[in-house]
Amino acid sequence: MTATTDGSTGALPPRAAAASDTDIDTPVAAGVHEAAVRAVRRATDFLLARQDAEGWWKGDLETNVTMDAEDLLLRQFLGIRDEPTTRAAALFIRGEQREDGTWATFYGGPGELSTTIEAYVALRLAGDAPDAPHMARASAWIRDQGGIAASRVFTRIWLALFGWWKWEDLPELPPELLYFPKWFPLSIYNFGCWARQTIVPLTVVSAKRPVRPAPFPLDELHTDPANPNPPKPLAPMNSWDGLFQRLDKVVRGYRTVAVRRLRRAAMNSAARWIIERQENDGCWGGIQPPAVYSVIALHLLGYDLQHPVMREGLKSLDRYAVWREDGARMIEACQSPVWDTCLATIALADAGLPANHPQLVKAADWMLGEQVVRPGDWSVRRPQLPPGGWAFEFHNDNYPDIDDTAEVVLALRRVQHHDPQRVEKAIARGVRWNLGMQSRNGAWGAFDVDNTSPFPNRLPFCDFGEVIDPPSADVTAHVVEMLAVEGLSHDPRTRRGIEWLLAEQEPDGSWFGRWGVNYVYGTGSVVPALTAAGLPTQHPAIRRAVAWLERVQNDDGGWGEDLRSYHDAARWSGRGASTASQTAWALMALIAAGEKDSKAVERGVAWLAETQREDGSWDERYFTGTGFPWDFSINYHLYRQVFPLTALGRYVHGEPFTETTIEVVVDDTAAAEAEGS
Contact between residue 510 and residue 618 where contact means Cβ atoms under 8 Å apart: no
Contact between residue 62 and residue 107 where contact means Cβ atoms under 8 Å apart: no
Contact between residue 467 and residue 202 where contact means Cβ atoms under 8 Å apart: no
Q: What does each C-alpha distance from 145 to 27, 171, 385, 532, 566 come to in angstroms?
A: 49, 21, 49, 49, 22
Contacts of 423 by beta carbon, 8 Å cutoff, 6+ apart: 364, 368, 412, 415, 417
Q: What's the chain's Rg over C-alpha atoms?
A: 25
61 forms beta bridges with 636
The DSSP output letter for 632 is E
State yes or no: is 615 an active-site residue. Answer: no
CA-to-CA distance for 72 and 124, rounded, in angstroms? 11
CA-to-CA distance for 444 and 469, rounded, in angstroms? 9
CA-to-CA distance for 313 and 199, rounded, in angstroms? 17
Question: CB-based burial of residue 5 (10 Å sphere; 0-12 exposed, 13-18 middle, 19+ buried)?
Answer: middle
CA-to-CA distance for 498 and 616, rounded, in angstroms? 37
CA-to-CA distance for 552 and 608, rounded, in angstroms? 17
Catalytic residue among 365, 401, 403, 562: 403
Contacts of 392 by beta carbon, 8 Å cutoff, 6+ apart: 286, 334, 336, 338, 339, 401, 404
Contacts of 430 by beta carbon, 8 Å cutoff, 6+ apart: 371, 388, 389, 390, 405, 408, 409
Q: What is the 3-state secondary structure (H, E, C) of 318-370?
A: HCCEEECCCCCEEECCECCHHHHHHHHHHHHHHCCCCCCCHHHHHHHHHHHHC
Taking the CA atoms of 194, 410, 502 and 567 in sequence, report the sign of the dihedral they define: positive
Tell which residue, 230, 218, 223, 220, has the closest CA to residue 147: 223
CA-to-CA distance for 640 and 579, rounded, in angstroms? 8
Q: Where are the beta strands (DSSP E) in 99-228?
A: none
Which uninterrupted H or E stretch holds 29?
A: helix 29-48
**Neighbour tally for 35: CB within 10 Å:** 19
CA-to-CA distance for 675 and 434, rounded, in angstroms? 11
CA-to-CA distance for 146 and 39, rounded, in angstroms? 50
Contact between residue 142 and residue 97 where contact means Cβ atoms under 8 Å apart: no
Whether cis (ω within 30° of 0) applies to the bond prior to 27 is yes
Active site amino acids: 403
